[in-house]
């Protein structure tokens, strides 16, 4: 994969801001044609325009990953334009926070629809393109709450645990086709989502979205002989231990 990025095709969901935007810019800088997808059209158009103005290749496609018809249309457009997909970054996600006793079933359903169903739908459609190629890389952006628990984050944590379960199973299923599947589990990153979930954290101690983009590029730099199941990347302690 390290030698093919210049001619590769990538789809990044949740691409309009934060981690998704940073990943789009990093991929485009490496010469990859980036499809930027998210619900907010003006945000992904701004990302695509930024890439194009810098001499890269990008296409903005608005889509709600929780909607199966929209996901099907998204992949149909990619298939029609490029006829292949080399990289899928499942980054789209939402956060709903609060004590369990104040959380509705509808809140849980919404988390599962976007964070889990969306990852499943995009991974399934990506596999349909990658299996005939016998190559590809799916990277799911999970979270530290994919293996830890925090108060007031029960439904968000449940969704990220589900993403990790999906990642582990898909990695085994996909390997026979030469397709790799990994998860990145970030700790505190300076994004809107983290600012809402952890308003107690000083932004100066948080990682930047570019730090997660660097982890994505590291995975894509590995030879076909290597496979990484997951990367837990955390913010550095403010003071040495």
Residues annotated as catalytic are 156
Cα Rg for the chain, rounded, in angstroms? 17
**Tokens describing residue 83:** 């006829």
Whole-number Å distance between alpha carbons of 136 and 160: 23
Whole-number Å distance between alpha carbons of 79 and 83: 4
Query: What are the φ and ψ backbone dihedral angles of 11, each rounded to 5 degrees?
Result: -115, 130
Residues in the chain: 241
Whole-number Å distance between alpha carbons of 109 and 95: 12
Site of tokens 């496979």: 227
**DSSP per residue, 187-210:** --BSSHHHHHH-TTS-GGGSBPHH
What is each CA distance from 66 to 28, 107, 177, 192, in whole angstroms? 26, 14, 26, 20
Whole-number Å distance between alpha carbons of 184 and 200: 24
Whole-number Å distance between alpha carbons of 94 and 74: 20
């Amino acid at each position: 994969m390290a030698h093919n990025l210049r001619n590769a095709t990538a789809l990044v969901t949740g691409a309009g801001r934060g981690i998704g935007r940073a990943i789009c810019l990093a991929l485009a800088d490496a010469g990859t044609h980036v499809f930027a997808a998210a619900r907010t059209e003006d945000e992904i158009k701004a990302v695509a325009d930024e890439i194009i103005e810098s001499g890269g290749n990008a296409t903005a496609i608005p889509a709600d990953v929780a909607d199966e018809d929209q996901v099907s249309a998204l992949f149909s457009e990619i298939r029609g334009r490029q006829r292949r997909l080399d990289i899928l970054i499942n980054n789209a996600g939402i956060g709903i926070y609060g004590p369990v006793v104040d959380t509705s079933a509808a809140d849980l359903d919404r988390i599962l629809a976007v964070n889990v169903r969306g990852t499943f739908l995009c991974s399934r459609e990506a596999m349909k393109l990658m299996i005939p190629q016998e190559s590809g890389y799916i990277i799911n952006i999970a979270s530290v709450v994919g293996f830890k628990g925090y108060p007031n984050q029960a439904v968000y944590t449940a969704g990220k645990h589900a993403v990790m379960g999906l990642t582990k199973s898909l990695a085994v299923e996909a390997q026979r086709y030469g397709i790799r599947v990994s998860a990145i589990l970030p700790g505190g990153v300076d994004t809107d989502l983290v600012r809402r979930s952890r308003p107690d954290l000083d932004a100066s101690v948080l990682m930047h979205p570019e730090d997660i983009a660097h982890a994505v590029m590291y995975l894509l730099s590995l030879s076909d002989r290597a496979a990484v199941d997951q990367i837990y990347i955390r913010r550095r302690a403010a003071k040495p231990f």
